[in-house]
């Protein structure tokens, strides 16, 4: 039974209103009688999250809310009307009044830093202004980079619509493994990584008249490297225009880096946002999130909700939980549209988050931090921030006040908003750093070093970095590339290294593909590579069919390990004629498989460039395993008396419980990656023989270190079985 707020006499609407105005909703108050609902009494739902109000984030000035978007009248708008309304929206964006001034500044300066709040129209409008101004005459192109794939795709689609052209014609996007551009494409939205690769084919970017490095504040590794390269190109191409766009105030750094380039500020438009913190830390933030969304839905006035989670798995779980609970509540609550958004989501699904919410309903968008600055969704009034984000290898607290503030800001775009933080005010003040550490200072650099080397940049220590990476990280990357045979002992690119740079994948993965030539199994290795690229989202496990799903997964197991399981899944799927029905029956994600097929095709198309012929191992999986080892000999672990230790660094690691080898516990294995959750888990593991390491990497391993000190008896099982883990 739900216990109501201030006093026993207060009831229904009154309590509801009182709580709403205080907003510290100490209970999950339902505006309907709860009696009889066994769902509620059975304690299935947790009923509330307590928030307390702390302060208000006010924007520079609060203007009147934008006129609400459609839908207004029943007759569908004519094409001309639609066009007019699109143009009206364009004119309403904060950047619009500055169009001429901005174009003049671009004409006057080679490099311009542009600062403006998210949603002011930087990404969608500025390239269009340049197009209208004639910067694409004589076949010249405009590049606009995005750190995220989803942003590149969705923004390009939006701009194509605004310009009334088909996506892929004048406006297109290019992201890894997916090119939606043509000869005619003059406005190119692309990931920062793709522009980096452009340097390989066109080192001076001669076909571009403007390069706009967008979302510069995100400081991704690729964006940071681009800065150095573009600064260099700009020196000997005075006619090239360089724009650096950023959503935050930290533009002085960029300006200094580009020899004191001027900063153009687009004044913001932002409404005040009330911030609420939880009174105590939340143990299960996913659960707390779901409860809070329902709490907002039931107690708060109209307005859409934006929730920040860390990744696909979590987002899908949250959406499922929300849908499930809404279903159970049925008509007791108003309609709640639950929409996910993350990088691998198919584009038709992505487009749904931008559609206006039907009257009477509420939309909740569950997003990764893509929605922090890269995407703007109209109509968001409530933001729910659990305070976590994913950084490369693991999940961690958002840890930056700057991110938290960005997230909160998303609530104040169309009207005054509210932001609910699932952490305490104390945590905000004491546990969060002020700003982000650039990715270059916390990630491995193998890829980038290989790329720079192939661009002829040898002296990496003196490359013009905005913030240089730590010396050790750079050294580690060089060492790894040397071990992989991409660099010789002088640090120069080898033939094999040149080929590795041609493939848009991690050096270890490229090495594996190159090695498939020697072991005559490129067909299989391509499949493994493609499947590894869509990693982690192959199988699904609906809550009501857990047993079936697990059985289906185990049926794919092959001796040898997870890479062969992936190969097996793909092969069977291909034999089914790439059928979606087959996926459904086997609890395999059709979407992921389709993507794997695309990736595989792209990689196959590149084989010729790296001089690898098509060949098949004809069922001799030892060859496949050896080829994988040739790429991943760096990632090996051996079973010792105290569990698994990585061979070189002697780090304690564990086989992931989802692995096909979880119970086998082979003595030697390699892993695709380490993920740190509760422990350091190895994901996608493959059983190997230590002698293979000498075969594929004699320069890296010495026979001595591969001897088994206690060769005969090993404890049968170390660690817990899957059942014991629950």
Does 116 participate in binding ligand CDP (rule CB under 6 A)? yes
Burial annotation 493-518 (CB, 10 A radius, 16+ → b, else e): bbebbebbbebbbbbbbbbbbbbbbe
Binding-site partner at residue 93 among ligand CDP, Mg ion, none, CB < 5 to 8 Å by type: ligand CDP
CB-based contacts of 562: which residues, under 8 Å, 6+ apart?
659, 660, 661, 672, 684, 685, 686
Size of the site for Mg ion (CB under 5 A): 2
From the list 151-159, 295-303, 443-451, 480-488, the region that binds ligand CDP by CB under 6 A is: 151-159
H or E element at residue 719: none
Task: Work out how close the CB of 386 gets to ligand CDP at its nearest, in angstroms, rounded to a whole number.
Answer: 23
For β-strands 362-367 and 380-385, DSSP reports them as unpaired
From the list 120-128, 184-192, 408-416, 478-486, the region that binds Mg ion by CB under 5 A is: 120-128
Binding-site partner at residue 376 among Mg ion, ligand CDP, none, CB < 5 to 8 Å by type: ligand CDP
Question: Binder to ligand CDP among 99, 148, 158, 553 (CB under 6 A)?
Answer: 158
Binding-site partner at residue 469 among ligand CDP, Mg ion, none, CB < 5 to 8 Å by type: none
Does 123 participate in binding Mg ion (rule CB under 5 A)? yes
Q: Rounded to whole angstroms, how far apart are CA atoms 535 and 253?
A: 37
Q: Rounded to whole angstroms, how far apart are CA atoms 32 and 267?
A: 44
Considering only CA atoms, which of 209, 206, 203, 217 is closest in space to residue 187?
209
Does 123 participate in binding ligand CDP (rule CB under 6 A)? yes
- In 455-548, beta strands by DSSP E: none
Task: Work out how close the CB of 173 gets to ligand CDP at its nearest, in angstroms, rounded to a whole number.
Answer: 11
Size of the site for ligand CDP (CB under 6 A): 16
Q: Rounded to whole angstroms, how far apart are CA atoms 345 and 349?
A: 6
Binding-site partner at residue 378 among Mg ion, ligand CDP, none, CB < 5 to 8 Å by type: ligand CDP
Task: Work out how close the CB of 421 gets to ligand CDP at its nearest, in angstroms, rounded to a whole number.
Answer: 22
From the list 6-14, 117-125, 448-456, 633-641, the region that binds Mg ion by CB under 5 A is: 117-125
Q: Rounded to whole angstroms, how far apart are CA atoms 633 and 612?
A: 21
326 to 355: interface string for ligand CDP, x by CB under 6 A: ----------------------------x-
From the list 122-130, 202-210, 219-227, 403-411, the region that binds Mg ion by CB under 5 A is: 122-130
Does 124 participate in binding ligand CDP (rule CB under 6 A)? yes
- Whether residue 235 has a cis bond before it, omega within 30° of 0: no
Report whether 78 contacts 90 (CB < 8 A). no
User: CB-wise, 123 or 185, nearer to Mg ion?
Assistant: 123
Q: Rounded to whole angstroms, how far apart are CA atoms 625 and 21?
A: 63
Task: Give the burial class of 358: count Cβ atoms within 10 A of its Cβ; 0-12 exposed, 13-18 middle, 19 or more buried.
Answer: exposed
Does 120 participate in binding ligand CDP (rule CB under 6 A)? yes
Question: Binder to ligand CDP among 48, 99, 122, 217 (CB under 6 A)?
Answer: 122
Report whether 270 contacts 412 (CB < 8 A). yes
CB-based contacts of 254: which residues, under 8 Å, 6+ apart?
113, 216, 227, 244, 246, 261, 263, 466
Question: Binder to ligand CDP among 128, 136, 145, 154 (CB under 6 A)?
Answer: 154
User: CB-wise, 17 or 63, nearer to ligand CDP?
Assistant: 63
Q: Rounded to whole angstroms, how far apart are CA atoms 66 and 121?
A: 15
User: CB-wise, 380 or 696, nearer to ligand CDP?
Assistant: 380
From the list 123-131, 448-456, 663-671, 677-685, the region that binds ligand CDP by CB under 6 A is: 123-131
Does 516 participate in binding Mg ion (rule CB under 5 A)? no
Number of alpha carbons in the 13 Å side-chain half-sphere of residue 456: 6
Contacting ligand CDP within 58-97 (CB under 6 A): 93
Task: Work out how close the CB of 188 gets to Mg ion at its nearest, in angstroms, rounded to a whole number.
Answer: 15
Strand partners, 637: 646, 669
From the list 138-146, 153-161, 188-196, 535-543, the region that binds ligand CDP by CB under 6 A is: 153-161
Task: Work out how close the CB of 183 gets to ligand CDP at its nearest, in angstroms, rounded to a whole number.
Answer: 25
Question: Binder to ligand CDP among 102, 112, 143, 155 (CB under 6 A)?
Answer: 155
Q: Rounded to whole angstroms, how far apart are CA atoms 243 and 328?
A: 51
Q: Rounded to whole angstroms, how far apart are CA atoms 506 and 514?
A: 12
- In 79-237, beta strands by DSSP E: 111-116, 141-146, 171-175, 178-180, 187-191, 208-213
| CA angle, 688 then 689 then 695, to 5° | 105
From the list 73-81, 120-128, 441-449, 502-510, the region that binds ligand CDP by CB under 6 A is: 120-128
Torsional sign, CA 200, 206, 211, 216 = positive
Task: Work out how close the CB of 463 gets to ligand CDP at its nearest, in angstroms, rounded to a whole number.
Answer: 29
Binding-site partner at residue 513 among Mg ion, ligand CDP, none, CB < 5 to 8 Å by type: none
Binding-site partner at residue 154 among ligand CDP, Mg ion, none, CB < 5 to 8 Å by type: ligand CDP
| Contact footprint for ligand CDP (CB under 6 A) | 93, 116, 118-125, 154-155, 158, 354, 376, 378
| Contact footprint for Mg ion (CB under 5 A) | 122-123
């Amino acid at each position: 039974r739900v216990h109501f707020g201030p006093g026993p006499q207060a009831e229904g609407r009154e309590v509801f209103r009182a709580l709403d105005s205080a907003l510290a909703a100490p209970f999950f108050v339902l505006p309907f009688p709860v009696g009889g609902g066994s769902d509620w009494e059975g304690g299935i739902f947790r009923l509330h999250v307590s928030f307390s109000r702390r302060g208000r984030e006010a924007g520079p000035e609060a203007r009147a809310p934008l006129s609400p978007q459609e839908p207004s009248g029943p007759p569908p708008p004519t094409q001309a009307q639609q066009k007019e309304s699109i143009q009206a929206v364009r004119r309403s964006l904060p950047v619009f009044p500055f169009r001429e001034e901005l174009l003049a500044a671009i004409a006057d300066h080679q490099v311009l830093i542009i600062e403006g709040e998210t949603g002011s129209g930087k990404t969608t409008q500025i390239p269009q202004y340049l197009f209208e101004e004639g910067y694409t005459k004589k076949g010249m192109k405009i590049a606009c980079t995005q750190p995220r794939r989803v942003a590149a795709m969705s923004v390009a689609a939006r701009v194509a619509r605004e310009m009334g052209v088909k996506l892929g014609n004048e406006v297109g996007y290019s992201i890894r493994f997916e090119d939606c551009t043509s000869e005619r494409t003059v406005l190119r939205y692309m990931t920062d990584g793709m522009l980096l690769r452009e340097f390989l084919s066109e080192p001076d970017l001669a076909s571009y008249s403007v390069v706009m490095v967008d979302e510069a504040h995100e400081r991704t590794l690729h964006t940071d490297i681009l800065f150095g390269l573009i600064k260099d190109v700009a020196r000997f191409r005075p006619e090239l225009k360089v724009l650096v766009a950023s959503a935050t105030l930290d533009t002085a750094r960029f300006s200094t880096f580009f020899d004191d380039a001027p900063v153009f500020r687009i004044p913001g438009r932002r409404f005040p946002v009330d911030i609420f913190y939880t009174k105590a830390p939340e143990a299960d933030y996913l659960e707390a999130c779901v409860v809070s969304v329902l709490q907002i839905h039931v107690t708060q006035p109209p307005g859409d909700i934006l929730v920040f989670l860390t990744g696909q798995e979590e987002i899908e779980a949250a959406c499922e939980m929300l849908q499930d609970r809404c279903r159970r509540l049925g008509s007791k609550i108003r309609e709640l549209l639950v929409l996910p958004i993350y990088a691998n989501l198919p584009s038709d699904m992505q487009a749904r988050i931008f559609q206006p919410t039907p009257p009477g309903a509420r939309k909740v968008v569950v997003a990764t931090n893509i929605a922090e600055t890269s995407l703007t969704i109209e109509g968001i009034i409530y933001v729910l921030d659990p305070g976590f984000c994913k950084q490369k290898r693991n999940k961690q607290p958002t840890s930056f006040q700057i991110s938290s503030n960005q997230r909160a800001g998303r609530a104040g775009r169309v009207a005054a908003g509210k932001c609910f933080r699932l952490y305490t005010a104390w945590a905000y003040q004491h546990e969060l750093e002020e700003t982000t550490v650039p990715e270059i200072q916390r990630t491995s650099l193998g890829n980038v070093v290989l790329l720079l080397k192939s661009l002829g940049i040898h002296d990496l220590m003196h490359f013009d970095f905005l913030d240089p990476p730590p010396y050790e990280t750079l050294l580690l990357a060089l060492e790894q590339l040397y071990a992989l045979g991409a660099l010789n002992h002088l640090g120069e690119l080898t033939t094999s290294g040149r080929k590795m740079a041609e493939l848009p994948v991690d050096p270890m993965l490229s090495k594996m593909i190159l090695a498939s030539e020697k072991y005559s199994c490129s067909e299989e290795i391509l499949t493994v590579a493609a499947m590894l690229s869509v990693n982690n989202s192959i199988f699904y496990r609906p809550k009501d069919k857990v047993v079936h799903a697990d059985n289906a997964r185990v049926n794919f197991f092959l001796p040898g390990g997870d890479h062969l399981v992936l190969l097996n899944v793909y092969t069977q799927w291909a034999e089914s004629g790439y059928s979606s029905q087959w996926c459904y029956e086997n609890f395999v994600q059709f979407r992921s498989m389709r993507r794997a097929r695309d990736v595989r095709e792209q990689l196959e198309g590149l084989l010729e460039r790296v001089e690898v012929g098509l060949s098949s191992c004809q069922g001799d999986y030892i060859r496949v395993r050896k080829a994988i080892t040739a790429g991943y000999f760096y990632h090996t672990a051996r079973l010792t008396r105290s569990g698994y230790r990585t061979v070189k660094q002697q780090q304690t690691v564990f086989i992931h419980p989802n692995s096909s080898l979880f119970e086998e516990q082979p003595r030697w294995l390699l892993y695709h990656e380490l993920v740190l959750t509760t422990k350091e888990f190895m994901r996608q593991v493959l059983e190997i023989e230590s002698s293979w390491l000498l075969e594929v990497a004699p320069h890296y391993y010495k026979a001595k270190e591969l001897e088994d000190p206690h060769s005969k008896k090993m404890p049968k099982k170390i660690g817990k079985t899957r059942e014991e883990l629950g």
